[in-house]
A = this chain, B = another copy of it.
């Protein structure tokens, strides 16, 4: 496939590919991202905005154009294979989100421009590695999250049915019940603000909160354990395999000595045999 692309994309595309993958280009992009992130951060200060607002907005626009150009050129160069790398999709999404405020003027979209700073996660190799390993360990906890979701759903429905009318702030509908249960799972004010006031109104509700906490924390504990065991296991397995190899090497090397001695014996025997035959 590489040969085919070469054939009809010509020299320009090749040299651009070379440029995009050069260390120098990576460094420039990283610096631009950092500068851009700092500028967007400065915009949160009103004093600075009044003084330098227009300059910062201009630089921001230039950088956004540069980033957009980078993506467009990359798509031109790598074509559809551009979208095969999850990191490229990440870049594409981040720039896409940044382009929205250029069009509209909703403060929420303006706020989202800062997600461009997340491009650093891709540009700095060490961070990229950490992100990749964090994402990699997600599947091992996937089913526990499903389990936790079912527990959340069941407790939400019970919560809305029992406390929904009296405490709409916490259990008005499934959405607020989910949020409340998330708060309870983090143990934040679960008793002083939620459980105790409700227990005054509805008897025997202590059971609801205590069982939820026990189940939720025990389950999240197991999410945690799953990750620890997974990570440790990989490291431990590697160590074990190395040790295994060392022992094997040692055994075969020791046996090599025995073999050479046996060979000597065989030669001696052959000599003896030849002599007796003669």
Q: Is the CB of B228 within 8 A of A225?
A: yes
- Complex interface: chain B residues within 8 A of A264 (CB): 266
Which chain B residue shows the least CB distance to A125?
Answer: B143
In the assembled complex, the Cα of A174 lies from the Cα of B227 at a distance in Å of 33
Q: Does A110 contact B (CB under 8 A)?
A: yes
Q: Is the CB of A189 within 8 A of B186?
A: no
- Complex interface: chain B residues within 8 A of A77 (CB): none
- Complex interface: chain B residues within 8 A of A19 (CB): none
Q: Does A54 contact B (CB under 8 A)?
A: no
Q: Count copies of this chain in the complex.
A: 4
Indicate the size class of the contact surface on chain A.
Answer: 35 or more
Q: Does A83 contact B (CB under 8 A)?
A: no
- Complex interface: chain B residues within 8 A of A250 (CB): 248, 251-252
Q: Does A243 contact B (CB under 8 A)?
A: yes
Q: Does A210 contact B (CB under 8 A)?
A: yes
In the assembled complex, the Cα of A114 lies from the Cα of B221 at a distance in Å of 25
Q: Is the CB of A206 within 8 A of B192?
A: no
Q: Which of A194-212 touch B at CB < 8 Å?
A: 195-196, 206, 210
Q: Is the CB of A114 within 8 A of B191?
A: no
Q: What are 11 A-to-B residue pairs whose CB atoms are below 8 Å?
A: A45-B173, A117-B150, A117-B157, A127-B147, A127-B150, A183-B190, A183-B191, A186-B191, A221-B227, A272-B272, A275-B277
Beyond contacts A41-B174, A188-B190: 15 other A-B pairs, Cβ-Cβ < 8 A, are A111-B161, A114-B158, A117-B150, A186-B213, A187-B187, A225-B231, A228-B228, A233-B235, A237-B239, A247-B247, A262-B262, A265-B269, A268-B269, A269-B272, A275-B276
